[in-house]
Structure 1
Amino acid sequence: MIKQRHALRGALTLAVAAGVALGVLTGTGTGAQAAGTAAGDGADQARLDRLMHRLTTVDGGPGALLHLRDRRGGTVLTSGVADVNSRAPVPRDSRFRIGSMTKPFVATVVLQLVGEHRVSLDAAVERYLPGVVGGNGNDGRKITVRQLLQHTSGLPDYLSYLDPRQILTDPLAHHDARDLVNLALAHPPKFAPGAGWRYSNTNYLLAGMIIEKVTGRTWAEEIDRRVITPLGLRETSVPGDAPAIPGPHPHGYVRPGEDAPLMDLTAFNPSVAGASGGMISSGADFNRFLGALVDGRLLRPAQLREMMRTRPTGDSDGRAYGLGLESRPLPCGGLYWGHGGDVFGYETAGGATVDGGQATVMVNLDPGGSDAQSDDMKTAVQMALCLHRSTASR
């Protein structure tokens, strides 16, 4: 789930006007605090500290966390609060919902199946999911697995047609992936398969369904078996229908309008996100996953090359999208690889460089965060990775 902030905000405003109440809370952030192995010092470190503070003051987030990891150790920066009532600080070992940062996990499993000759990237979706994708001009016979993973299928995004008030009025409700796909397929495609690029969460619901069809196990079980367990990601989970976040975690908040008070939506059923964004992780674990992914420990060379074969998205910052993994240029030179995420209560972003640096940032507010929040989170990841590079070269 990503790139739906403005639409969600508008619908949430309507929900509040209709009298939906989930517990109204208010609060502001506090200053940045650093802990762990020092990532560096001097002006660059001070700028990163100020940026973390900005996320929880000017940008309006209750709390923020950044975890920087390299071959020498890790650094954790926190700012603001985990709970706007108790004013408890953000735990350094926080777990949180990662939204669309789930997609690299799903794409990794699909590409592992490609390496095992159980899935073909250029085969039609119809081969694996007969009769699932059809109607209103959508045709699974013309869409390939590659196009799902790269968002070039043209399929509508189910989130564009899902009323967030359903989540607010019944946050524990189960959402079936096939029903969500059908919600999208009730509308015509945005373009012919392969004729453009447009982010659609529907693509990854279908990728999860392909994993299940091919392996006979759920996409969650395959991620656990193939990625979480081998890498020892003890703070990462695929919760299914479970509404709670296990372990230490900040509360997740939404802001239904520009001047509206915060609403606590820490607990909800993540099946509404499913394989497009339903996972939980931590800064340390997501960094470890990204590091293993870009250095070739999770995929064979041929499949990693396919994942990193990108196409421009049209964004002004040079963003390009591969197969569940995107690249952006670093201000200090070169590229970094990662993904961002938006899900009720949390916005996240993570990136890694091929020279061994990884950085993940989280703010416990979404939707309702400003555009500046998203931009500053991206800047924090880039600044942390450049700081890693400057200290590693000494």
Structure 2
Amino acid sequence: MAATVTAVAAAVVAGVLAPSTTASAGPRPDVVQQRLDALVKQDGVPAALATVKDRDGRTRTYTAGVGDATTKAKVPVDGQIRIGSNTKTFTAVVVLQLVAEGRIGLDADVDTYLPGLVRGDGIDGRSITVRQLLQQTSGLPDYMNPAGVLGDSKRYTEPRELLDAALARKARFAPGARWEYSNTNYLLAGLIVQKVTGRPVGEEITKRVIERIGLRHTSFPLPGDMTIPEAHPKGYLLAADGSLRDYTELDPSWGWAAGAMISTNTDLTRFYEALLGGRLLPAAQLAQMRATVPADTLGTGVGYGLGLISRPLSCGGVAWGHGGAIPGYETSGGTTDDGRSVSISVTAFPGKDDTVQHEEQAVDAVLCR
């Protein structure tokens, strides 16, 4: 970028001082397209997609690569993708809405809503609060079994089965002692939403978030639905030998309230903008959501709030969002308090070891351009 700025500055000076016959400088390279092209070429992902909104409210969508690695079909513009752990932010919003309504206590223990359910080796729901679930400071072990998911991706799994898998493991640490990412926290948050409302968590997310702010291309899959309903690029696993395995159709039940949802980059930017703009939560609950604890395992200076991540930007300030990964797709993004927003997705996960880092670097480059 420094080289680009220098070249542009030199061209401007030449245009002023040189005779009128001097050729003018070409247009400035688009940093978004450059970054997407690099993800395809250098990281080996079949496709990369992005939506960017600038300070003036202008929104643009981008694509690179191919939507189908076999047929070489074009990438659908703003195609749907599985958004993985971005789902956690949607779940956290619903919990905090119920807190605002007086139906859930943020510092009430889990046993208040799920009596006797959470017990195990060093695990006791009477000593874990709802806040600690959303903040990822509960010490609960993760139920996730990546090898099992990749080996049998079309198997339907009940939430209780996932919880049993977690409770069969030892607690990671005492509640509140530190931060550690665990999908089990949001599994329990989803169960609490269902217990309090008497309705499925996907239905509550749809009613309270998706429909409320008009996210037309976002959904929480119904049980048994393994498809992506609208135009989408195929999602793959990138093997060590460079080959691709198609994971476009899978049963996302193992992700459930922690990672099952489908959306587009544009809808994701709208969601985070609406959330940070106060359209989904009262000021008190939004402030609680933005109160972070250090989450340095996610990167230097990164903080984790209540289902919301803050990342420092190289140009100053922070970007808010979450990000998510699920077999076939990985998404990174960020929204700033002054209105800049970007969401970038790639269609290979797991991919190369540093692909996620390259995505996050791309987000920083776009927001700081």
For the criterion TM > 0.5, the same-fold answer is yes
Q: Does 1:49 align with 2:40?
A: no
One-letter amino acid of the structure 2 residue matched with residue 317 of structure 1: T
Aligned partner of 1:63 in structure 2 is: 47
Output the TM-score relative to the length of structure 1.
0.84
What is the aligned partner in structure 2 of residue 276 from structure 1? 258
Are the aligned partners of 2:273 and 2:335 in contact in 1 as well (CA < 8 Å)? yes
- Return the index of the structure with the highest Cα Rg: 2
**Alignment match of 1:90 (pick from 43, 59, 75):** 75
Alpha-carbon distance, 1:42 to partner: 6.0
Following TM superposition, by how much is the alpha carbon of 1:52 offset from its aligned partner in structure 2, in angstroms? 1.1
2:301 equivalent in structure 1 = 318
Q: 2:118 — aligned with what?
A: 133
Q: Provide the rounded CA distance (Å) in 2 between the counterparts of 1:279 and 1:234.
A: 13
For 2:166, the equivalent position in structure 1 comes to 184
> Is it true that 1:287 corresponds to 2:272 in the alignment?
no
Kindly report which structure 2 residues correspond to 1:111-126, keeping only aligned pairs within 5 A, or say none: 111-126=96-111
In structure 2, C-alpha distance between the alignment counterparts of 1:47 and 1:356, rounded to whole Å: 19
Moved more, 189-198 or 351-360: 351-360
User: Which residue of structure 1 aligns with residue 196 of structure 2?
Assistant: 214
Give the match for residue 15 of structure 2: none
List alignment gaps of at least 5 residues for structure 2.
1-25
Instruction: Note if contact 1:69-1:284 (Cα within 8 Å) is conserved in structure 2.
Output: no
- The answer to whether 1:193 aligns with 2:175 is yes
Unaligned runs of 5+ in 1: 1-40, 388-394
* Cross-structure match for 2:87: 102
Q: Distance in 2 between matches of 1:384 and 1:314?
A: 23
Report the alpha carbon displacement of residue 166 of structure 1 after superposing the two structures with TM.
5.3
Q: Report the CA distance between 1:47 and its aligned residue.
A: 3.4
| Equivalent position of 2:330 in the other structure | 347
Equivalent pairs, count: 341
Q: Deviations over 1:285-319 (max 9, x none)?
A: 01000000011111000000000000111244311
C-alpha distance in 2 between matches for 1:93 and 1:294: 22
The amino acid that maps onto 1:117 is G
Which residue, 185, 191, 201 being the options, matches 1:203? 185
SS at match of 2:140: coil
Distance across 2 between alignment mates of 1:42 and 1:191: 55
CA offset digits 1:105-145 (Å, max 9, x no partner) = 00000000000111011000010111111021111000000
Counterpart among 131, 142, 147 of residue 146 in structure 1: 131
Q: What is the distance in 2 between the residues matched to 1:77 and 1:373? A: 18
SS in 1 for 2:181: coil
| AA at the equivalent of 1:216 | G
1:164 shift after superposition: 2.7
Secondary structure of the 1:204 match is helix
* Cα distance in structure 2, aligned partners of 1:72 and 1:329: 22
On the 8 A contact 2:333/2:343 being kept in 1, the answer is yes
Matches of residues 215-294 of structure 1 in structure 2 within 5 Å?
215-240=197-222, 241-255=224-238, 257-294=239-276
> Do the aligned partners of residues 157 and 93 (structure 1) sit closer, same or farther apart at CA in structure 2, a change above 3 Å counting?
same
Q: Is the 8 A contact 2:226 2:251 kept in 1?
A: yes
How far apart, CA to CA, are the structure 2 residues paired with 1:166 and 1:152? Answer: 25
- Rounded Cα–Cα distance in structure 2 between residues aligned with 1:79 and 1:229: 30
Which amino acid in the other structure matches residue 78 of structure 1? T
Tell me by how many angstroms 1:229 deviates. 0.4
Q: How far off is 1:96 after superposition?
A: 0.4
| Cα shift at 1:147 | 0.3
> Which secondary structure does the structure 2 equivalent of 1:206 belong to?
helix
Distance 2:368 2:146 in 1: 40
Aligned to 1:263, the other structure's residue is in SS state strand
Equivalent position amino acid for 1:280 in 2: I
Distance 2:27 2:163 in 1: 50
Once residues 269 and 175 of structure 1 are traced to their aligned partners in structure 2, the CA distance between those partners, rounded to angstroms, is 8
Quote the Cα distance in structure 2 between the aligned partners of 1:290 and 1:47: 22
Opposite residue 135 of structure 2, the aligned amino acid is Q
Report if the CA contact (8 A) 2:51-2:78 is conserved: no
How many Å apart are 1:167 and its aligned residue?
4.7
Equivalent-residue separation in structure 2 for 1:136 and 1:72 (angstroms): 51
Contact 2:57–2:339 (8 Å) recurs in 1: no
Aligned CA distance change for structure 1 residues 165 and 191 (closer, same or farther; 3 Å): closer
Q: Secondary structure at the match of 1:164?
A: helix
| Separation in 2, partners of 1:182, 1:272 | 13
> What residue in structure 1 maps to residue 310 of structure 2?
327
Which residue pairs with 1:390 in the alignment?
A: none
Instruction: Work out the CA distance in 2 between the residues paired with 1:183 and 1:165.
Output: 12
CA distance in 2, matches of 1:372, 1:57: 14
Which residue identity is paired with 2:195?
Answer: K
Distance in 2, Cα, partners of 1:60 & 1:182:
37
Identity %: 49
CA distance in 2, matches of 1:225, 1:275: 15
Query: Secondary structure in 2 aligned to 1:141?
Result: helix
> 1:77 maps to which residue?
62
Q: Secondary structure at the match of 1:175?
A: coil
Distance in 2 between residues matched to 1:270 and 1:156, nearest whole Å: 20
In structure 2, the CA distance between the partners of 1:163 and 1:78, relative to structure 1 (3 Å rule), is closer
Q: d(CA) in 1 for partners of 2:289 and 2:146?
A: 33
